[in-house]
Amino acid sequence: MDRVFGDKKAIAILLGPALFMYTAIMLVPSVWSLFYAFSTGNVIEGFRPVGLDNFRKLLDDPIVPTSLRFTVTYALVITVGQILLGLALALFYVFVLRRASALIRTLVFFPVVLPTVAVGLLFSKMFAIAPQTGPANSLLDLLGFGATDWFSTGSKAFWVIILMDLWRTMGFYAVLLYTGLLDIPGEVLESARLDGAVGWRLLRHIVLPLALPVLISSIIFSLNSSLKVFDSVVALTNGGPGTSTTPLNLYMFQTSFFYSDYGYGSTLAILITTICLTVTLFLFRSSRRDLTKG
């Protein structure tokens, strides 16, 4: 093996195809997109440079602040929800169900494997008021609150999206954190119990600190995927009503491919990349310190 890795040609052969693909599929479009951000035009007439016009437009665009607010709020709420629910489920698997958790884990994980579009349709029917009243509104009627149009305002639609995405993804985070909890040595927990640490104290002082590395990884996963939310919103509200549930990713897609404004779409892509990069770097920096020291 050492001989293989010592052979420069072998390294080139092993690394070359992957690097070629990565360059062709990731780097070139990224650089190309950067070029588009400073241009305007279309594929029929070609592109011409416009300097910083697209970036000025970004500052003046009334949809960008709304879209940014939605994206950040969604990312924060969904991350908190995914981690808390995931952790609660993981604790439930480890400390309550123990060895009997396999069936429940499978059932909770099941929505993860469902196609997002199917889940979107399911929830749109569940919360529908027209043409048929869905189960959610029937329940509200039964309880005497009266049915409501969940998709008539951005604030109501937001909570349906949150509910759907939490149901859809909590199983994944539960399994992720479950594996983290399994790594905690049994004797550590045992000795903590002998010292009188049970319930919240055991969780606060023993379980959470020891599960912190996997917890940080989960937060990074969750924040990054939620900042780039796209498919679930398209399937459920398509960004509506109006643009009130339009995340930046969807707005970028619409700008580029519905309105054929590739230049401005690329500028929005740069904004999204910058946000994701900043959040990731911030989280990496925070997690770099020795987590066992609290």
Partner 1 sequence: MIRTWRAARTHPTLRTVAAVSAAALLVSGCSAAGTGTKSGSASKPTAFSALFTTENTQIPAELNRLAAGECKAQNDALPLKIEQTPSSNMQQKVQLLAGQDALPVLFAGGNALINKDGALQKSGQLVDVKKALTDLGVADKLTPAASDTIDKLYGGGVYPTIPFQYNIEGIFYNKKIFEEQGIAVPATWDELLAAAAKLKAAKITPFTASGKTGWTISRWVGAYILRDLGPDALKKVADGQAKLTDPEYVRAAQAVADLGKAGYFVDGVTSVDYDTATANLLNGKAAMMYMGSWLLASINDPKKNPLGDAIGFMPVPAVPGGSGSIDQYPANVGAPTAISAKQYSPEVGGWLKCIAENYASGLMETQGAFSGFKMGKPVANVPPLTQDLQKRIDASTSTVLWFEALFNTKATGDASANAAPLLTGAMKPEQYMSLLQNDLSAAQ
List residues binding partner 1 (CB under 8 A): 8-9, 11-12, 15-16, 19-21, 23-24, 27-29, 31-32, 41-47, 57, 62, 124, 128-131, 149, 151-154, 239-244, 254, 257-261
Q: Cβ 242 to partner 1, closest distance in Å?
A: 4
Task: Give SS3 for 7.
Answer: coil
Nearer to partner 1, 40 or 287 (CB): 40
Q: Contacts from 121-126 at CB under 8 Å and sequence distance 24+? A: 121/235, 123/160, 123/163, 123/164, 123/236, 124/151, 124/235, 124/236
Residue where the block lists tokens 């969604």: 74
Nearer to partner 1, 81 or 120 (CB): 120
Q: Cβ 33 to partner 1, closest distance in Å?
A: 10
Q: Cβ 206 to partner 1, closest distance in Å?
A: 44
Dmax of the chain from CA atoms? 76
Task: Name the β-bridge partners of 41.
Answer: 47
Q: Cβ 175 to partner 1, closest distance in Å?
A: 34
Nearer to partner 1, 110 or 259 (CB): 259
Nearer to partner 1, 9 or 293 (CB): 9
Quickly count: other Cβ atoms within 10 Å of residue 237's Cβ.
Answer: 23
Q: Cβ 31 to partner 1, closest distance in Å?
A: 8
- Rounded Cα distance between 174 and 223, Å, is 16
Nearer to partner 1, 156 or 205 (CB): 156
DSSP at 291: G
Nearer to partner 1, 218 or 246 (CB): 246
List of E strands, the chain: 39-42, 46-49
Nearer to partner 1, 151 or 173 (CB): 151
- Give CA separation, 63 vs 25, 43, 237, 255, 278, in Å: 30, 25, 17, 11, 22
Q: Cβ 32 to partner 1, closest distance in Å?
A: 5
Q: Cβ 41 to partner 1, closest distance in Å?
A: 8
Region of residue 51 (left: phi > 0; alpha: psi -120 to 50; beta: else): left
What are the respective helix, strand and coil percentages of the chain, to the nearest 5?
75, 5, 20
